[in-house]
Amino acid sequence: MEIKIALVGCGNVGTAFIELLAEKRNELKNKFGFFFSLVMVSDKIKGTICNKNGFDIDELVLALHEEHNLSHFEQAKGNFQEVLLASGANFLAECTPTDFETGEPGMSHIKFALDNGISVSTTNKGPIALAIDDLKQIADGHGAKIFCEGTVLSGTPLLDLLKNGLAGCEILEVQGILNGTTNFILSQMEQGQTYEAALKKAQLLGFAEANPRQDVEAFDPAGKVLVLAKLIYGINVDFNSIKRIGITHVTKEMIEIAAKNNHRIKLIAGIHRDINGLHLYVMPRELENTHPLASVNGATNAITLTTDNLGDITLIGPGAGRRETGQALLHDLIEFARTK
């Protein structure tokens, strides 16, 4: 079987996905039984290239490393939609930046692909948070599939765990650290760094969103909680109804006082259930050092799922990063090949 892959959004994550494809091609063939070709790469800044027979992936990796652009290749003619159809792709990896208000540009890319029977894996949280039901419906109507493992906890397989590993369990409560950037900043501030320096470092390391307000004002973890509410409970929640407080008001002094009391300040995102229904929130909380989420450092994420059959399950792993999120796309590609 051959999968023809198109990629839109060739920044940190998209480039890491291409590197992973190059690195794992033999494993994909020998262990998972499929060949792939990369037939299109499109990026707002780097332009759009297309080769129906598949690019030489090593040449592509080299060009991206050495030139940080796609000028080595002839630019394709036509807009994204025209080139995508001409490429013959049957799988689109969508890695454009998140916009929780409109979901664009990812929303249009994903809808167009699904409408044309092209399956999609996205790491873009906007379209999934805003319209996962619609997108699934379009996919179903056109014999395509939509995957989104990378939207929560990057490549740490939380969505897979919810779908497969915890099948049959009822989730009673969700509590987690769902944003790598803010956890990184809080950890750095504990070590004496300023908020500004820590944010800059998170941007350099590729954890932060293109607009870091999404992280520090907690739009990003709020979007992730919304995705979880949909996937776990099947409910649609209005983004604006989520109780959302970021870390911009957390000071060095607050962190020091917490430490004196054997506490740590963490940005906690969760879903609480009571007789009035489900309550989604993101807010800084002071946790005792013995709390399972208190020891999670840097860009690492963690989530505790309280279940009826297994009690508490805590999953800890990377929540951001180029290769870590590229892994989520690779996971989805393998899942697509398995179910095709």
Report the interface residues with ligand HSE, using CB under 6 A.
154, 179-181, 207-209, 215, 220, 319-320
CB closer to ligand HSE, 147 vs 207 = 207
CB closer to ligand HSE, 287 vs 320 = 320
Q: Which of 46, 111, 125, 224 is catalytic?
A: 224
CB closer to ligand HSE, 302 vs 320 = 320
Q: What's the per-residue H, E or C state across the chain?
A: CEEEEEEECCCHHHHHHHHHHHHHHHHHHHCCCCEEEEEEEEECCCEEEECCCCCCHHHHHHHHHHHCCCCCCCCCCCCHHHHHHHHCCCEEEECCCCCCCCCCCHHHHHHHHHHCCCEEEECCHHHHHHHHHHHHHHHHHCCCCEECHHHCCCCCCHHHHHHHHCCCCCEEEEEEECCHHHHHHHHHHHCCCCHHHHHHHHHHCCCCCCCCHHHHCCHHHHHHHHHHHHHHHCCCCCHHHCEECCCCCCCHHHHHHHHHCCEEEEEEEEEEEECCEEEEEEEEEEEECCCCCCCCCCCEEEEEEEECCCEEEEEEEECCCHHHHHHHHHHHHHHHHHHC
CB of 31 to ligand HSE, least distance (A): 27
Q: Which amino acid is at 56?
A: D
CB of 222 to ligand HSE, least distance (A): 12
CB closer to ligand HSE, 12 vs 37 = 12
CB of 133 to ligand HSE, least distance (A): 21
CB of 211 to ligand HSE, least distance (A): 10
CB of 209 to ligand HSE, least distance (A): 4
- What gap in Å lies between CA 302 and CA 262, rounded to an integer? 20
CB closer to ligand HSE, 4 vs 125 = 125
CA 77 to chain centre: 30
CB closer to ligand HSE, 80 vs 207 = 207
Active site residue 230: no
CB of 226 to ligand HSE, least distance (A): 13
Tally of CB atoms within 10 A around 69: 14
Active site residues: 224
